Amino acid sequence: MKTNPKQRTIGSIYHRMKDKINLSDKRFQRGSVWTREQEQFLIDTLIKSLDIPKLYFWDVKNEGVYDYSVVDGQQRLTTIFRFLNNELELNSEFTPEFANKTYEKLPEDLKDEIYNYELTIVIIEDADEEAIQDLFLRLNNGTTLKSQEKRMNIGGNLSKYIVNMTNHNIFSKVTFKNKHRDYEQILAQCIKLELEGKTTNTQGKYLDLMYKEEKDFDVNGTVAKKFKKVLDYMGEIFSEENKVPELKRFNLISLYLMLSQMIDKFVIKDKKDLFKKFLIGFWNDLTNYRDQEKISDDKRNLDFDDFIQFISSRTDSLESIDGRHKILLKYFMLKNPNLEIFDNNRNFTEEQRLVIYRRDKEICWHCGKHVDWVDFEADHRPKPYSKGGKTTVGNGTCAHQSCNLKASNKEELLPGWLK
Ligand SMILES: [Zn+2]
């Protein structure tokens, strides 16, 4: 999270920023709306050139609609805008010299002074929703309790189990600290993914719900066993490393998800080095890409662009987790195309199917036309399964179900033979 305080005059905020600011972001629920007196008192503060507390703006340009969402200062800004719109008159008690006057009825020099009054705006960048929620809570209630700390009060088996698992050696490899029970929060997010068996929302409210629902969590059950198996594998990946700075919060969760989906399907027992190389390599490539001064259109990597977007905010949302997962999986499988599934089963896994579909740009190997996901089949080519072809991403191609059928029993085919 980066915070960047700026001085901005009321005039420039009103004219240049007003329409780009979200003043009623539902993610930050306020208490009661200000009374007219509270509004008039603020304007009196302004007229007397007294200090108005800092305003906090969250940079949400990547969400598309607004540039900023007001985390703190919503009522103050709304009041100032209302006053400049002549929708609010001054109070005869607070400001008797201008009793009942609206903005336009004030003397010109005072109007200028109000226009030139400088507010301090703190722009927050690179923060996810969880961090912003926490900031909002602190600014409003002065509380230092973070969500995970409150979550612990729910109690139950799951809560105890998660506290226990923070002793796992994977956390000796990370470079971030366990302040505010961050490790427990990460573990809770991984368990949530494990319980769902697929990508899912892992934001605070969903974790709260899980803690309540899993009070009787079976610490020796299948979910717990699988969870520990994946964590152990992660620990072994980095067994020779002292610290792994690439294991950031969200990377840890992404790696968990990848391994959780692959560990029972792919032959990866002795392939721990592949994951280490991959994670460090991917992060290195992404950082180099991001650090470039200017990227020409033909050098753009849309996956990297998306990935950067996904990690810039709301990393716990379904959209971010799912988006990152698909990109990571795609790169991992493309880098390791010969990764085999257990017993060379004829059926491609969902993970392989997705990677093959995206890699082949949704174009049929046989006919060269576009394939809808519902018509898509992963086909064993160039070497058919019947000829001993492996069920790997490297020997899988995107095909229409119908084209695949036409190709059955035909062995030596070239791409596009049905064009
Ligand atoms: Zn086709």
pLDDT of residue 366: 95
What length is written for the chain?
A: 419
Count the neighbouring beta carbons within 10 Å of the beta carbon of residue 170: 25
How many A from CA of 324 to the centre of ligand 1?
A: 29
How many A from CA of 371 to the centre of ligand 1?
A: 7
How many A from CA of 337 to the centre of ligand 1?
A: 23
pLDDT of residue 35: 85
How many A from CA of 60 to the centre of ligand 1?
A: 42
Query: DSSP alpha helices (H): ranges in 142-271?
Result: 147-151, 157-165, 182-196, 204-213, 222-237, 249-262
235 half-sphere exposure, CB direction, 13 A CA radius: 14
How many A from CA of 389 to the centre of ligand 1?
A: 20
Q: Percent helix, strand and coil across the chain, each rounded to 5?
A: 55, 10, 35
pLDDT of residue 144: 43
pLDDT of residue 97: 92
Residue 118 Cα distances to 46, 112, 173, 193, angstroms = 10, 12, 46, 47
How many A from CA of 398 to the centre of ligand 1?
A: 9
Q: Which neighbouring-strand residues pair with 396?
A: 380
Whole-angstrom distance, CA of residue 261 vs CA of residue 252: 14
How many A from CA of 370 to the centre of ligand 1?
A: 7
How many A from CA of 378 to the centre of ligand 1?
A: 11
pLDDT of residue 105: 95
Q: Which residues contact 115 (CB under 8 A, 6 or more apart)?
A: 9, 10, 11, 14
How many A from CA of 322 to the centre of ligand 1?
A: 28
Lookup result for tokens 């392989």: 352
How many A from CA of 417 to the centre of ligand 1?
A: 10
> Would you say 113 and 58 are in contact if contact means Cβ atoms under 8 Å apart?
no
pLDDT of residue 395: 94
**Of all helices (H) and strands (E), which one includes residue 244?**
none
C-alpha 382 chain-centroid distance: 38
How many A from CA of 407 to the centre of ligand 1?
A: 10
Whole-angstrom distance, CA of residue 78 vs CA of residue 14: 10
Listed as ranges, residues in the chain with pLDDT below 70 are 28-32, 137, 140-146, 153
pLDDT of residue 143: 43
pLDDT of residue 181: 83
How many A from CA of 77 to the centre of ligand 1?
A: 58
55-59 sheet: strands from edge to edge: 2-9, 118-125, 55-59, 68-72, 21-22
Whole-angstrom distance, CA of residue 246 vs CA of residue 361: 30
How many A from CA of 413 to the centre of ligand 1?
A: 13
How many A from CA of 399 to the centre of ligand 1?
A: 5
Lookup result for tokens 């996810």: 128
